[in-house]
Structure 1
Amino acid sequence: MYYGYYGYYFDPTYFLILIAIAISGIASMKMKSTFLKYTRVSSRLGLTGAETAKRILESQGIYDVQVVHVAGELTDHYDPRTRTVNLSDPVYASTSIAAVGVAAHECGHAVQDAVGYVPLQVRGAMVPVVNIGSSLSWPMILIGVFLSQGRLISLGIVLFSFSVIFQLVTLPVEFNASHRALRLLESTGILIRDEVNDTRKVLTAAALTYVAATIGSLLQLLRLLILFGGRRRDD
């Protein structure tokens, strides 16, 4: 038999979930506070996020990627399918250090795509599998627990692990994009050295959210393995 709990009233593995929530909350607060701080600091050159993105792309000979405005806050992303750098409300038309940094980071992904950066390609190839896994993993685990079917639970854990692997692959992609962004901001003269250091703080805070998400996924996987990994599997 499989049991999704320890005893009737207390499951000590919930501490893993609480740790994950705490880490995610701290990273999110750090990101928001750092971004807000540097949205109040204008860059000396005065380029907007959109102008920054266009200048960086042109400096790298990338002319088939469009810079577009999207609604929302911190919804910025690069979409390799549509070849667009999508910049959010606080970034697209802002001249702040934070906006310039975020725009440059997304251009870093466009540069990765242009040069065939392998981790980005691996992450892109994983998306369909991860989408399926994230949709089916928990239903399969719960059905397996309800029916006492170990194989279903094991398959659900395997599907969930795809999301964990995706998070791990995402880390070098994001760190590399930020490294490219900082180098390009300085080499193109968009920011001077002290401004680059301030932008590094913004991008480092953003990177911490990806680290927190990865830790959260690992802790969740660890919890599943503790609950079910050592149990007897059905033949």
Structure 2
Amino acid sequence: MEAGLDNALLWILILPGMILGGLAQTWVKGAVSRFSRVPLSQGLTGAQVARMVLDSKGLRQVRIEPVRGVLSDHYDPRSQVLRLSEPVYGASTIAAAGIAAHEAGHAIQDAEDYAPMEFRTAIVPLVKAGSSIAPLIFFGGLLIQSPAVMWAGAILFGASSLFALVTLPVEFDASRRALNHLQGLGILRGEGEMDGARKVLRAAAWTYVAAAVAAIGSWAIYLLMSRRR
């Protein structure tokens, strides 16, 4: 009976992240695909949009480079480089404008020492260590039947969950900044274009929500197993 309850609890912890993750990925791919076919009335490419947003905040030192892949767009705070995927860098579409402005929003966060982003950057080494070493420590403790070692692995794994949670305000804030700049700088015109960018960024935000739910669920499983032992 107890084993059955444990199995049911494990599924309760795992399923929400799996379901949300699948739905979020489908949603974001659908939104990006749809609005990647809608041209931007201003005729600006993603790279030009990002440049306009950055320059409006005096961030001319931030470079913009193309990078291979799809949805591989990101800002590197260490080298102050904004990297846009090839479908975004040279495209003149609603989706490209929204994604480019979002990544520029991260560069602005970095320049303004936005606290959640600073904290997220600071814990990256811990997260990398946690994601690679924590499972080894945890299952090593399980193998030698040491609850203390298992708890150490479970707590270290929690860094990934903390990172996923801190990512939420960072990403939501970047999207808010993006929409404000797209409208304020006249990059998007009319409610139709703004609504398209809003849908793309909203769909992308749900991928981070799904990741946070999945991370918390995984961490809860580690903690549950440690407590059972």
Aligned to 1:24: 21
* TM-score normalised by structure 2 residue count: 0.94
Given residue 215 of structure 1, which amino acid in structure 2 is its aligned partner?
V
Specify which of 170, 175, 188 is matched with residue 173 of structure 1.
170
Aligned to 1:122: 119
Which stretch has the larger CA shift, 15-24 or 123-132?
A: 15-24
Aligned to 1:203: 201
Q: Equivalents in 2 of 1:87, 1:214: separation in Å?
A: 24
Q: Could you tell me how far 1:18 is from its partner in structure 2?
A: 3.0
Aligned to 1:163: 160
Q: Deviation string for 1:128-170 (max 9, x for gaps)?
A: 1111111111111111111101111100011111111111111
Q: Could you tell me how far 1:7 is from its partner in structure 2?
A: 4.5
Aligned to 1:48: 45
Query: In structure 1, the residue corresponding to 2:83 is in which secondary structure?
Result: strand
Aligned to 1:3: none
Aligned to 1:102: 99
State the percentage of identical aligned residues. 42
Specify which of 23, 35, 40 is matched with residue 38 of structure 1.
35
Is 1:11 matched with 2:14? no
Gaps of at least 5 residues in structure 2 are none
Is 1:91 matched with 2:88? yes
Q: Deviation string for 1:20-44 (max 9, x for gaps)?
A: 2111111110110111010010111
Q: Deviation string for 1:12-69 (max 9, x for gaps)?
A: 3134223321111111101101110100101110100001011111111111100100
Question: 1 or 2, which has the higher helix percentage?
Answer: 2
Aligned to 2:128: 131
Aligned to 1:186: 183
Q: Equivalents in 1 of 2:12, 2:162: separation in Å?
A: 22
RMSD: 1.4
Q: Could you tell me how far 1:229 is from its partner in structure 2?
A: 2.1
Given residue 97 of structure 1, which amino acid in structure 2 is its aligned partner?
I
Query: In structure 2, the residue corresponding to 1:11 is in which secondary structure?
Result: helix
Query: In structure 2, the residue corresponding to 1:43 is in which secondary structure?
Result: coil
Q: Equivalents in 2 of 1:35, 1:143: separation in Å?
A: 43
Query: In structure 1, the residue corresponding to 2:24 is in which secondary structure?
Result: helix
Q: Equivalents in 1 of 2:36, 2:61: separation in Å?
A: 29
Query: In structure 2, the residue corresponding to 1:81 is in which secondary structure?
Result: coil
Task: Determine if contact 2:16/2:213 at 8 Å carries over to the other structure.
Answer: no
Q: Equivalents in 2 of 1:129, 1:31: separation in Å?
A: 29
Q: Equivalents in 1 of 2:123, 2:83: separation in Å?
A: 22
Given residue 222 of structure 2, which amino acid in structure 1 is its aligned partner?
L
Q: Could you tell me how far 1:230 is from its partner in structure 2?
A: 4.5
Q: Could you tell me how far 1:227 is from its partner in structure 2?
A: 2.3
Which 4+ residue blocks in structure 1 deviate beyond 3 angstroms?
A: none
Gaps of at least 5 residues in structure 1 are 1-5
Q: Equivalents in 1 of 2:32, 2:81: separation in Å?
A: 23
Q: How many residue pairs are counted as aligned between the two chains?
A: 225
Q: Equivalents in 2 of 1:175, 1:116: separation in Å?
A: 16
Query: In structure 2, the residue corresponding to 1:67 is in which secondary structure?
Result: strand
Query: In structure 1, the residue corresponding to 2:69 is in which secondary structure?
Result: coil
Q: Could you tell me how far 1:109 is from its partner in structure 2?
A: 0.3
